[in-house]
Amino acid sequence: MAIIDCVEWQPQSNDIFAWRYPEQNLTTATQLIVRESQEAVFFSKGQILGKFGPGKHTLSTENLPILHNLFGIPFGKKNPFTAEVWFVNKAAPLTIDWKTTSVRIMDADYGQMLPIVAKGRYGVKIRDAEKFLVKLVGTLNTFNSAQLTDHFMGPLVAKTNSAIVTYMTANHVGVMQIAAYLDQLSTFISDPLKQFWDEYGLELTGFYVTSVDLDTSTPDGKKIADAMSDRSAQNIAGYTWQQKQSFGTVNNAVQNSRGGIGMIGAAMMMGGGLNGNPGMGSAMMSPTGNGNFAQQSGSSPINQKSTVFCSRCGKSFPSSNRFCPHCGDPYNPCPVCGRDNDENAKRCAVCGASLQGQNTVNNMMNGNACSRCGTNVPAGTKFCPNCGNRM
């Protein structure tokens, strides 16, 4: 069995907290080399033989007096003994990242329960090598920052989540403003954590919260984030949520409805109207005495032209006329752009909008359509041939 003459550790990275020398066969003449920011601790038969700081040491019963009690080694002779040598890195790495799980909080700005997640970075260093080795290392051969993070994930996340919720609730800070309080939040969390790390022989050298954000990985968090984005866009553009819904209703009616009747229905469903004017939705587009669509207040309807051109003779006339004063052709306005169209046209020749509903309304206004089912009937008919309704 080979006897080790020199024991040392040359770490390849700074994220290793403790490393066990692979051999245990030592003598009282073995050289021990401990570098700066390191400390060596000897264990044998479950007891600590001693510990050494930076420098070059020759093992002997003088600096390891417990050897005589454990092995009966006489003073001044080169005698073998077995022991575990642990090297501890006492530097302060600040590269350990942490991230909490999703936690719900009553947001001070929105007054709703929001899911949030936080992340940051912390650093610890070994203050008491003996306590650290006894409580954490055990039978491992090495102990790095990843193992430390995994070992403390549960208590660290629990304490951090609790501290964040407590701070934001007590100070009435919402998710939208928390970025301005990250320094204070970091201090608030780090103070109670110092005592926690001290129990394991570790010293918390720094604790930083880099962000607290809405957790968009959850379905409700994604919906809330989209709603916040819409609200920001509305504030910038200068329109309300109700107005946005109204815009969508009118747009769908123009694209999908079958003519002017659909436009009227869309307008009636708009509730508060386009400009927040109560009742405007129901009064925006109603047929007037001249066969056109106009507001009950007397103002022009959407896209209504003040002057139009006759679809038959091409001459202009006021849109308030029911017939062209030049050729007598009935004014058949498009419900979208207000242009005159042939009375039998199914779509507007200018914008392509459906005219079937418009023609039905015009026929009803002229007495040529049934008021119950809308069927076109010849002039002078007393009863509708489709439903029997009295004309």
Burial class (CB within 10 angstroms; exposed 0-12, middle 13-18, buried 19+) of 365? middle
Tokens of residue 193, six digits = 């954590």
Burial class (CB within 10 angstroms; exposed 0-12, middle 13-18, buried 19+) of 181? middle
The pLDDT value recorded for residue 378 is 72
pTM: 0.52
The 3-state DSSP class for residue 148 equals helix
DSSP codes joined into one string, 266-335: HHHTTTT-TTS-TTHHHHSSEE-TTSSEE-TTSS--TT--SEEE-TTT--EEETT-SB-TTT-PBP-B-T
96 sits in which H/E element: strand 96-99
Q: What is the DSSP letter of 100?
A: P
- Among 325, 321, 326, which Cα is nearest to 338's? 321
- Among 200, 186, 116, which Cα is nearest to 155's? 200
The pLDDT value recorded for residue 256 is 58
61 vs 75: CA distance, rounded Å:
6
The pLDDT value recorded for residue 359 is 54
- Among 312, 352, 316, 310, which Cα is nearest to 334's? 352
- Among 123, 93, 126, 127, which Cα is nearest to 14's? 93
Percent of the chain's residues with pLDDT above 90: 17
pLDDT band at 272 (very low <50, low <70, confident <90, very high): very low
Tokens of residue 370, six digits = 């049934």
Q: What is the mean pLDDT of residues 336-360?
A: 76
For strands 6-7 and 31-34, give the pairing: parallel
Res 360 pLDDT > 60: no
114 sits in which H/E element: strand 113-126
Q: What is the DSSP letter of 101?
A: P
pLDDT digits (tens, 9 = 90+) for 254-265: 555 544 444 444
Res 188 pLDDT > 80: yes
Mean pLDDT of the chain, nearest integer: 76
Side chain identity at 318, as an amino acid letter? Answer: P
Res 333 pLDDT > 70: yes
The pLDDT value recorded for residue 53 is 92
